Structure 1
Amino acid sequence: MMIRVRSRDGLERVKVDNPNATVGELKSLIQTQLNVPIHNQTLSKNQNLLLAKGNDIQKFNDMADPSSPLAVLGIGHGQMVYLAYEGQRSVAGPQIKISPAGSFGKKMTMDDLIAKQMRIERQEKPHCQAVSFDRDAANAFQQYVNENLAFAIKRGGFMYGSVNEEGGVNVDFIYEPPQQGTEDNLFLLRDPEEEKQVEAIAIGLGLRRVGFIFTQTISQGKKDYTLSNSEIRQAVEVHAESGLKEWVTALVKLEVNEDGGADVHFEAFQLSDQCVKLFKDGWFAENCGDLDPKITRMTKDVVILGKDTRDVDNDFFLVLVKILDHQGPLSSQFPIENRTSPVNLRALKNHLDKTKNLLYVKRLSNFHLLLLLAKYLDINADVPQLAACVQAQAPIPEGYQILIDSLASNSRD
């Protein structure tokens, strides 16, 4: 039988003649056929092994017992096993000969030479030290996807927050633009006017756009990739647009727990500098048809471990980022924009009625509420000023209180 082995070097295959082979025998064959010493090997059926660093690799112990039969572990012909190892190894690749000008053979152009020199390499460290999510903002996002969409269609949003001097990113609110999700794709129907309102609020709050967050569906969780090529393309597009080196891409999905139930799981990455540069320079191919979703195709040949190819394993572009959480200054008790039900002034009146015992600035300390108000106020003057009051937790000027109360009292069901 043939076992597929994915490592940081891409996809390779190991031939196993014994149908009753054990994990130990598979490791011996990997040493013989792939030149990875047994003592350096960590094997797992969990694809997250490829993104683990340092001591975290030890957590992947589902194939740690060398006497375990592969069949008992559900590993048979054509099955995928993930391999992590330390150090370097020699990977056989084709020998490339460039004929001198005027001799028999294809003449190399400058583009050809540049392509031959484009080596795809992993980025070892992210620019973002860690990303910390406001607990309420993260929960409001995942709860809607879990309870209303049942992780059956994709959902996404832009994360807003700040970057500290050490390169850590704090996410304080998530803006969900107009969108349509399917089982495999997310289409952002971006509204420039609404995004201007969001930016005006962010400026007043002293925040900025720091990342992109999206979900994977249940059906995607059964596939053998971390991010699909369409997800890589969408993520790198908004990353390149930002110009922020600490930009974070966050993924939310369901994972099966030890009891057989499902838990919501957050993961965070940075796309490598090389990935962003390749996208900006037009190396990402369009309309790749039935291409394996775990592969991104380039428009020209690149070199990966001595091999010429146009197909790059998506994991080469991902750099894992540590996740933390915090309790930020904004509340989440207000309807969120661009979901199933439109957010209107009736929601404002209900919110103000429920929070009448709080200081007025506390009642307005919610991004989604401020976004509703931005549709009725001057985004160049009123919106930043209101947001600045919220940021400083300073009293809201009486004129604004009267105006906001008037908007709420004039609402209709």
Structure 2
Amino acid sequence: MNTRSPSEPARPGLAGLGRELGEVFLAILMSTGLCELIADALHPINLILIYLAAMVIMALRHGQRAAVLTLLTSVMVFDWLFVAPRWSLKPTDPQYFFTFAVALVVGLVVSHLTTQARKAAIERLRALEAARAVELQAEAERVRNTLLAGISHDFRTPLTTIMGAASSLRGQEGHLAPAQRDQLLAHIIDQARRLQTLSSDLLAWTRLNDGAVVIEPEWCPAGELVREALEQVAGTLKPDQCRLQLNENDLLWCDPRLMTQALANLLANAARHGSADPPVEIEVTTTDEAWVLCVQDHGPGIDPQELPDIFRRFVRGDRATGTAGSGLGLAICEAVVRLHGGHIEAANRNGAVLTITVPVPAQARDELTRLMESE
């Protein structure tokens, strides 16, 4: 049964004990070497202070046991090497016995005080860790409740629509006109797709934040990346609703699959909250050190008070009331960009402007230079 109190430092095993003895030996050896260097300039009594300093260091590093061992060994080494007659533990001057006694008492007191201070520091650290653990647990509980509330809210609406439409089809099967029947079926299909999007977004966000996704970056043509993202949102954002400002042949260093998903989420967000005229603007610029992708929707913009939280999960914004969405799209974008070592920002400038900045590692730049030289 373990009777050690939580605040008591753990006793070292054989490996830890060997390391402790090794450091004690090294501290005494270094102190002795220093004393040899300055022995001619100082009275031997003053040299004992160097050993006391080594003892304090051992007390801070390993506790009272190492400090006492350092102190006792130091007194014997000091007597053996620096007190006449040398190479003997029997000093001819009786005053040295008093010096040794005082040094031992002072050393033990200092060792005890240092060890107590070390234990107090460890206890404070553990108290801080315990408080931090409680804080993290509370935050995890808050996140879990927020997640459950968001999921239940987002899933309830399409499920209610599907159940209502299905009930109407079943209860009034012989009384519905073909147009009404088709409309109800369209509602069911639309809400089922929304559920599918919600499930996919939730799964993607969970995997990204759990560290289950490892990026595989490569050089991707900017035009190809943007076109693939536009294809994913073709149902909500038509080509004539976009204005591209990019060089098709510019190369972007990124994981094409993840970055396409992130850009598609940005475009879907712009389609929901923007306006058809003027169209959504997509701008890509590159430098040797980074590339920047900007999406501007020309919509009502983002409430300034909500800008700091816009990339948190289930945040939609008051100005977006009535628009369908999982509240996870921008959170997924932020997670993808963070995996690339970049950052994403939101601002208001003739509508909402979302900007992705991704740095290009020096190794990737060198690789691109070699590829271009070989062609």
Q: Same fold (TM over 0.5)?
A: no
After TM superposition, the score normalised by the length of structure 1 is 0.24
After TM superposition, the score normalised by the length of structure 2 is 0.26
Higher relative contact order (CA 8 A, sep 6+): 1
Larger Rg: 2
